[in-house]
Structure formats: structure tokens, C-alpha cells
Chain A
Amino acid sequence: MSTFRIAVMGCGAVINVLYHPALKELADEIELVGVADLNQKITEPFLQEFPAAKFFTDYRSMLEQLRPEGVIVALPHFLHQPASVDALRMGIHVFCEKPMAISSKECDEIEAAVRETRCIFCVNLLRRWFPSVQEIKRMVDARSLGALTSFEASEGGPYGWPAMSFSFFDRKVAGGGVLMDSGVHTLDLLQWWLGPVEVVEFLDDAAPTGVECDCVAELQTQGARGSLRMSRSVELPNNYRLQFERGWIEWDHDDATQFRFSSNHQTTVEANVRCEPRWASGRRFTFALAEQLRAFARAGRGGSSDGLVLASEARKSVDIITNCYQQRKHLTIAGE
């Protein structure tokens, strides 16, 4: 079978950190044919690795000239929706970097384009591919620990993403702060594990013109209350705790193979999920992304889309974030 022809829109930090190694690993299955970015200089290391790929400053020209089978949308958040819709309407399958879009309304527009074109649209929510996360999902679905009684999640640390510009800090461009950024992953997992999540209260530390650095949310699902804390300023515990009638589950974020649980509130079981050793390595993010891209190529050729986070599912975290921002209250953690 021939390789799946793919192009990239936007060549920022996420391409260098994640997609570059993942596409290298998939070189026999996926062929990179084009890269579009306003800044040619930042694409140079990427293009050196994939010399057959052509460079464009305009993504529409790239899509028209190259007609790839699929496209990776890794543009600033505010462009996810228009770029994805443009590609879908040209009959090109879309693999979109998270978040799917920056509001529920934009997600509606993408979903409409998906229905209209019947193309594949999925979002990079790579934690769902971690063996530990999948095992927790199985445990929760089996209801072996009884009903959920409460939950708590925290994620954050001093901002360390190798951003190439201030665009992550611009409300119009990024659509929000820490919640719109890493919060997408957190909320996606909570709602995937636990079901529909409602926002009871949301507080953040942004002025109306800025984006939040720290935030706190009180959430509700299955009649159980829970909390979420996120930060770009200070190290948080970075774990999730799901409390059930007969036990609990605890997961340290980004641990792809291990978690802890108790089925009687007394003894703690350290669970090591049986899986390929690569999931325990530092390259687990690359593997998770490569698995998704492989599944995307398969689905783009008419195969199964199992495991991919499609539009109807990916939008759920954006819907929660939209609700959070709509009822935002001011949070004073450290200010005066």
C-alpha cells in the first residue's frame, strides 16, 4: 500500500517537540509532502529531516497545489476552526492539535463541516492512548468500586513550554490561558472516565484583557462534586483522585503505565499495567502521537477510526471550558 500523504499547517514548538519525532518514526507509512508557516526559518530543521516536503507561506495554496490526503493543523488556537473547515471542505482529512477550537460555537462549525464532507476530523488527545489511562477507564466503566462520590484533579507547574512567541499569552490568539491549554487534556480525561461534566463554579486570575495563569473549578458529574486546579505559575500535586463508595483510584498525570487504587479504602494496590516497555519511557508522548497518526491514516483510507478522538468527542472538553469562561469569577491566590 502506498504511503499516506500528509501536510502540516503551522510549524511551532509542538511540531518540533512531538510531531517531528513521530513522523520520523512513521516514515514508511506516512509521507510528509508540505509544510505551511509564515516563518520559513523555523521550518528549516523540520524540512531538512523531510526533504521531499515543500514549503508554503499560505496554507490554502499548499492544500490546493499538493492535495494531500490529510493535514495536521498545528496553528495558533484561534485558527484551528477556520483552517480545519477549509481543509475539510477541500475533502482533506484533518488531524487537529488540541484544543479542537476556542469555543463551542466554533466546534459546531467544525462538526457541520464534518457532517457535510464525511471527512475524518480528530484531535490530538494523546493521554487517552496511555495504557494506564485506558485501564482506569475500564475500571470506572465496570463500576467495581461502586458509585463515584468525589473527584479531584490538579495539574500545573512553572510555565516551561518552549514557545516561540507570546501568542500563548494573547487572549485573541490562544482563546484562554492554562485551562484552554493543558486544561483540555485534564477535562477530556475527566469526562471520558466519568461522563458529562457540569461546571458549578469557575474562578481564574485573569483581568478581562488577559489570560489566566492559575484557575480553580468546582465540577459535578454523576451527582458527585469534584475540583480542578490548574497553574502555570507553581508546581501542583499533578494527580487525579477518583473517590468511589468502596474505594478509590489515583493517577499521577502523564504516567503511562502505573496508577494506584484501593478496593476497600484500606489497602493500596500499586498497579503496573502490562504493556510494551516503550510506554514507560520518556518517549511515551511520541509513541501515543504516532499511534494516533497511524490510526488517522488508516481511517483516512476508509479503515476503522477506533481510538481516534473524533469531533463529537473532542468538543466535550471545549464545551466545559466555554462554560467555565462564561461564568468566570475572579480568583485571588497570590495577588493583592
Chain B
Amino acid sequence: MTSSQNAYVGAQRDAKYAVLGAGGFVGAAMVERLFRAEAQVTPLVRRIGTGGALLARFGLPQRLANVLDRESLKAAFTGAHVVFHCVTGDRAAIVQGLENSLAAAQAVGVRRLVYLGSAVVYGFRPKTAVDESSAINPPRWSEYAKNKAAAEKIVEQWRGGPETVVLQPSIIYGPRGRDWSETPARQIASGTAYLVDQGRGYMNEIHVSHLLDAMLLAAHHPAAANKAYVLQDGFGRTWQDYYRSLCQLLGVEFATLAAFSWQEVARNSSKPRLYQKWVKDAPDVLRSAVWHDPLKAWLKRAPGFESLRRFTSAPVSSIANGSSDPLPAITPDVGVALLHTYPQPIVDAKIRQELGFAPRLSLAQTLEGLGRWYRFMGLVR
């Protein structure tokens, strides 16, 4: 069954929706989806800002709502059948904010609350394939992962309504996505993009349109009540695949990207203990990739990587064109490095079987949308 044939994937005109975090990437996209479907939607924003400017396209009355103020949430949720909770921020906003949201939804009789969680609760580099039954294991060094895990615990223990559904995407991308669509493109355009261990790790991405489909399924499907689901597009893309596509869209030679090994990143990181812990916990095959120079040497010879720049803390020159022009120094992020080496696809069979979730855009279509956005931004050469 494709998404378009799934009766639960569309917005329901007789339902009233409230979108908390409507100024964010996913929240604003959900308001747009509901508006275009002529559904009744109330966008709830924390402050007047960029999100408000995006929402203003529709002329919908926007409401200010503070997740740390339960009473303001009750007023905002009154009359809503479904609440999409798409809030991010500090620990208070993520953890206390969710508890307040659930309590407010309960108080005013909201039927279902869809909470946008994250697969990060299972770790940045889990040893085995992740699905909903995997152990919650946020890395101690990631405040974000710990906060999201604490929030999930609140949902898990919540009783007495509303029904809850937790969606756990990993990498959300698409036009207007800052972290995984805008930032990599700007890095590629400015010569500061990099891949760790050649980006061979699985990206486990989900396009924002597909995530919206899943959120609507979560809002409407009877089988979704009080369940959690991991999800991804299922294109089987690696980070290398993704960066190759972005390079093509932007008109940049893939071979000019900087390359790091995990070992280099860890050695130059301010988190040496993390590195030691990772090495201790890593599966044998990956540990060998880190430690054994012969394997590294083999990887270096892989087609397409001959001219990749190597890590240095000082400005480096492009090997690709032999010029001596200084290039920007790059300091890889350890969290990104872990993601670039993610060893296996997330297993999202449950949402596909139980809710009939199926991505409807092809890989080419998702890239076409990104290309349009990049052209508007003036990033395409």
C-alpha cells in the first residue's frame, strides 16, 4: 500500500489540530500540510520570529504558547482533537515541556498527542540494528540525547489520556531543514564540508514530507495508540551517497570534500574519553577499521577518494587541483563523525506493517526539491 492510498494519511477536515513548535522545521511544515488540506489548525509558537514569518504565509492566527506554562497550553489546546508536539530546546523545554503538554492535553480532552521523539535515544552508534524494542541508551556526553530519552520515559509512564504516539526519526532532511540540508550545503559551497571514514555509514534519513505522512498516520490510525515507531525513508543511502547528491546539486566536485578518519577525529577531539569509550564499545569490524593501518590504506585507495583532502588543524591546500591557495581549516564534530559511521539501517518494519507507512517521493524527487531551494539560496554554482 502506498501512502496516497492509506486512508489515515490525509488531514481530516472535521478534526481540529494544534501544532506545538509550529515555528520549527517540522512544525511549520505540518501547519503548511494541514492548511493546504483545508484542515482546522492552530499554530502555536514560542515567540515572534522566523517561524512566525513562515506561518504568516497562510494568514492563520498564530498563538504564543510557552511549554513551561501549563495554563497557557490548556488554553491553546482547548477544542483540539490532535496535538502535534514538535518542541525542541533545552532540558526544561524538552522534558518538562512534554509533561506540561500531556497534562494540558489531558485536562482539555485532547484525543491524541503525537510526540516527535528521536532515534538518538538508542545511541549515536548502536552496536546492533535499532528498532523500537532496542534498549534506550543515550550517550552520557549528549545532553540532547539524554533529554530526549527522559522525555520518552514520561510518555511511556503516562496514563489516563490522551492517547500518545511517539515517532523516532533520525536524520530529518528536506527544504528548510537547517541541520541536515542547509548546513551541509553551505559547508560544501564554502569548502568546509567533510566526511568521516568516507561517509560509509547509513544515513537513516527521512524526508520531511514522509515524516509528515507518518505523523498524520500516527494521529489517525487506531493501531498507533500508545505506541512508538522508528522510521526512515528506506532508500538505503549512506552519508557518502547523500553528499555526492548534494555536490551534484550544487555543482561542486565531490572529490574536493575533506576526508577524515574516525581515529583522526577522536584524536583531535576535546572528548578523548568518548573516543576511548567508543573504541571499547565498537563492533570488532569497525574497531579494526580504526586500528589497522592496512585496512585504512586500502580504504584510501578506494575509487573517488584519491584526491580527498586530509585533516589538519591548520589551513590546507587542495590536493585535487594542486593549487597552494589556502583553504579553510576544518574541525570535525564528534557527533557528526559518529553518525557518518553509523553501521546499519534502522529497522522500521513495525510502522510499515502496522500503519501502512510508505514513502511516496522518489529519491530523485526529494533531491529536486532540495535543488530548487539551493538555487533560491544562491548556493548553486
Contact = CB atoms under 8 A, between A and B. Distances in A.
**Do they bind each other?**
yes
B59 A236 contact: no
B305 interface: no
Contacts of B32: 335-336
A214 B378 contact: no
A213 B378 contact: no
B373 A336 contact: no
Nearest to A154: B378
A334 B369 contact: yes
B297 interface: no
B54 interface: yes
Interface in A6-33: none
Task: Give the interface centre of A207, A236, A237 by most chain B CB atoms within 10 Å.
Answer: A207
Contacts of A231: 376
Contact of A334 (B49, B52, B373): B373
Contacts of A236: 377-378
A336 B376 contact: no
Given A205-B57, A336-B36, A158 B50 contact: yes
A64 B107 CA distance: 53
Given A159-B49, A159-B50, A235-B377, A213 B56 contact: yes
A12 to B, nearest CB: 12
Interface stretch (A34-42, A163-171, A277-285): A163-171
A233 interface: yes
A169 B182 contact: no
Which one of B55, B57, B377 has the greatest number of beta carbons of chain A within 10 Å? B57
A206 to B, nearest CB: 5
B49 A207 contact: no
14 contacts: A169-B48, A169-B55, A169-B56, A177-B56, A206-B57, A210-B56, A229-B376, A233-B53, A233-B54, A234-B176, A234-B376, A235-B377, A334-B176, A336-B33
Contacts of B35: 207
A237 B60 CA distance: 30
A166 B60 CA distance: 11
Contact residues on A (Cβ < 8 Å of other chain), bracket? 35 or more
Interface string B257-291: 00000000000000000000000000000000000
A133 B49 CA distance: 30
A208 B60 CA distance: 11
B59 A171 contact: yes
A216 B376 contact: yes
A160 interface: yes
B175 interface: yes
Contact of A163 (B48, B175, B378): B48
B37 to A, nearest CB: 10
Interface in A200-255: 205-214, 216, 229, 231-237
Contacts of A332: 372
Interface string A150-178: 00001000111001111011110000011
Nearest to B62: A166
Contacts of A171: 59
Nearest to A333: B376
Contacts of A165: 48
Interface size classification for chain B? 20 to 34
Contacts of B209: 336
Interface string A293-336: 00000000000000000000000000000000000000011111
A163, A216, A334: most-surrounded residue (chain B CB, <10 A): A334
A282 B160 CA distance: 56
Interface string B24-60: 0000000011011000000000001110111111111
Contacts of B49: 158-160
Nearest to A216: B376
B174 to A, nearest CB: 8
Given A210-B56, A210-B60, A214-B376, 13 more contacts: A154-B378, A166-B56, A169-B48, A169-B52, A169-B62, A206-B56, A211-B59, A213-B53, A229-B376, A232-B50, A233-B53, A234-B176, A234-B377
Closest 10 CB pairs of A and B: A209-B59, A334-B175, A169-B56, A210-B59, A159-B53, A232-B53, A158-B50, A210-B57, A237-B378, A159-B50
A233 B48 contact: no
Contacts of A335: 32, 36, 175
A295 to B, nearest CB: 33
Nearest to B28: A233
A209 B54 contact: no
Contacts of A154: 378
Contacts of B50: 158-160, 232-233
Contact of B53 (A169, A170, A207, A209): A169
Contacts of B376: 214, 216, 229, 231, 234, 333
Contacts of A178: 53
A231 to B, nearest CB: 7
A232 to B, nearest CB: 4
A158 B23 CA distance: 12
Contacts of B176: 233-234, 334
Nearest to A233: B54
Contacts of A206: 56-57, 59
A171 B56 CA distance: 9
A171 to B, nearest CB: 6
Nearest to A207: B58
Contacts of A170: 56, 59
